[in-house]
Amino acid sequence: MNWVEKYRPKSLDEVVGNRKAKEELKRWIEDYISGKDRRPVILAGPPGCGKTTMARALGRDYNLDVIELNASDNRSAEIVRSIVGSAAESKSILGRRILVVLDEIDGISGTMDKGGLREILNIIKTAKNPIIMTANDIYKPSLKPLRERCKVINLRPLPTNTILSVLKKIAQEEGLDVDEETLKLIAKHAQGDLRAAINDLESLALGGSLSPEEAKKLDSRNVEKSIFDVIKMILKTTKYDIALSTLWDLKEDLETLEEWLSENIPREYKKIGEVATAYDYLSKGDMFLGRGKRRQNYNLWRYASALMGTGVALAKEEKYRGFTPYGRPKVFTKLLQNKSKREILKRILSKISSKTHVSTKRAREDLIYLSTILERDPYLGAELVRFFEFTEEEVEYLTDKNTAKKIFKILKEREKKKEIKKDKIKKKEEKKESKGKQITLETFLQ
C-alpha cells in the first residue's frame, strides 16, 4: 500500500486544513438527511487539497456506504447510468444509505462527453441518495448547468506548514532518518498539494536519498497552479511590496503573466475605471517588455514587471474580498490549437489590421481587449462585429458559442428594425406619390 492510502484520514476530524469547508460539508449532509437541502454538493479545489478524502471520511462518519466513480475515466452516458444511476436510487446490501462520490467531474466537460454530463443532470433530479462530486476546475463554461443545480464548496491549497506537520508524522511512523530542512523543502515544492508531498517523501525514502540536496531537485508542480497564485496575489492585494515580491516566485515569463492578467482583470475588478487603469498599466508594461527584447536591454524588464505587478494591483480603489473564478487565457490557449483555428485567427487579425491600419502584430496584442468587450457588452460588441465584418465563427473564436449567438441575434434584430423602418418610409413615399398622381388626374379631367 502506498503512503497516500496508508495515511489517508478515516474521519473528517483527521482531515487537515480547510476547516470551514469541513463544517459546511457536515451541515450539508445533516440538512440532506433531514430533508432541508437535497441538492448534490461539489467539492471544488486544486489537486491534493483533500476533496476525495473529505468525501470518503464523511461517509464513514455518517455510516454511509460509499460508492466511488472517477468521472473522467467513465464518461459515457451508459456507464454513468448503470453505475451512478442505480447507486443514487437504491440502498446498499446492508440496508444503509449510499453516498455516491463522483471524482473529477470536470474531466467530462468536453464535446464528446456531453452524454455523460447530461445523464448526471438527469440522475440528480431523481436521486434518493446524497451525491458528492469533486472538481479541480468547476468554472468551465460547459459545467454551468451542473453548478446551478448543486451546492458548491470551495477548498483551498493546503498551507506549507500544514503539509509539513503531516510529513513529520509520516516520517516518525516510518522511522525515517530525515531532517526538518528536507521536509520543509518537500512541503514547499508541493505548492499546497498534500498528495504530491507524500508521494515525493515516499519516492525519496525508497531511493535512499532523504537530503536537502535531493529535495531541491524535485520538479516544481504545475506551472498553472503557480501562476494562479501569482495573479491572485496581484489582483487581490492593495500593497505595493506584496505585489512586487510576488513576481519573484513566478516560474513563468512576463509575457505569460501578461496573458493571464489580461484575461482575469475584468473578472476581479468591478469598476470600469479600475479595469481601464489596470489595462493601461499592462499595456505600458508590454511596451517596456517589447523594447527590452528589441534592444536586448533586459534591464527594461524590471519596469515591465513593476507596471504589470504593482501597477495592476494598485489600479483598484479597494480590495475585493471573496472567491473569484480565475480562468486560463482564451487567446493564449487558442494559439496552440489546430490549423483551422489558426486560419480563423489569421482572418481576424487581417480584418483588424485592415480596418484600423495597424500591423497584425499590434492587432494580436489588442485581441484580449476585444474579446473582453465582446463578452462584457454584447450591444457594443455587435457594433464592433459590424465594423470589422466578423463572421459568427470568428466571434465564437474570440469568445464562446453563446456570446457569438447573442451578438448575431442583436445584429439580426437591428437589421430587422432597419428593414421595417425602410418599408415604412417606402410605403409613405408610395402613398405620397399615389396621392400626387390622383390630384393630377382629377385636375386634368376638370
* All cell numbers assigned to 124: 440528480
The answer to whether 68 and 43 are in contact (CB under 8 A) is no
The secondary structure of 343-369 as a DSSP string is HHHHHHHHHHHHHHT--HHHHHHHHHH
Please tell me the predicted confidence (pLDDT) of residue 309: 86
Whole-model pTM: value is 0.52
Spatial distance between the Cα atoms of 27 and 4, rounded to a whole number of angstroms: 27
Annotated binding-site residues read 45-52
C-alpha distances in Å from residue 151, one per residue of 13, 287, 302? 22, 44, 44
CA distance 331 to 351: 17
pLDDT in tens, the chain (446 residues): 678 889 999 999 999 999 999 999 999 999 998 888 889 999 998 888 999 999 999 999 999 988 887 765 544 556 566 666 666 666 655 567 888 888 888 776 444 445 677 778 888 888 888 999 998 877 777 788 888 889 999 998 899 999 999 999 999 998 988 899 999 999 988 888 898 889 888 878 876 778 888 777 665 444 444 677 788 889 988 887 777 767 765 656 778 888 889 889 998 998 888 999 999 898 888 888 888 777 767 677 778 888 888 899 999 988 887 778 887 776 555 454 555 677 788 889 889 888 888 777 778 777 877 888 888 888 898 999 999 999 998 998 888 888 899 999 999 898 888 888 887 887 777 777 666 555 554 554 45
Report DSSP state, residue 63: T
Cell numbers for 294, please give them: 528589441
What fold is seen in the domain 3-154? Rossmann fold (3.40.50)
CB 105 within 8 A of CB 133: yes
Q: Which residue has the cell 487579425?
A: 349
| CA–CA dist 238, 56 (Å, integer) | 39
Q: Residue 84 corresponds to which cell in the numbers above?
A: 451512478
Is 3 in contact with 170 (CB distance < 8 Å)? yes
Please enumerate, by residue number, every residue annotated as part of a binding site for ATP: 45-52
- Classify domain 160-216 at the CATH class level: mainly alpha
Rounded CA gap, 235 and 233, in Å?
6
Distance CA 227, CA 260 (A): 8
Report pLDDT for 391.
92
**486560463: which residue's cell?**
328
Torsion angles phi and psi, residue 201, rounded to 5? -60, -45
412: number of CA atoms within 13 Å, CB side? Answer: 8
Q: Would you state the pLDDT for residue 161?
A: 93
By three-state DSSP, how is residue 226 classified? Answer: helix
Decide: helix, strand or coil at residue 16: coil
pLDDT recorded at residue 42: 93
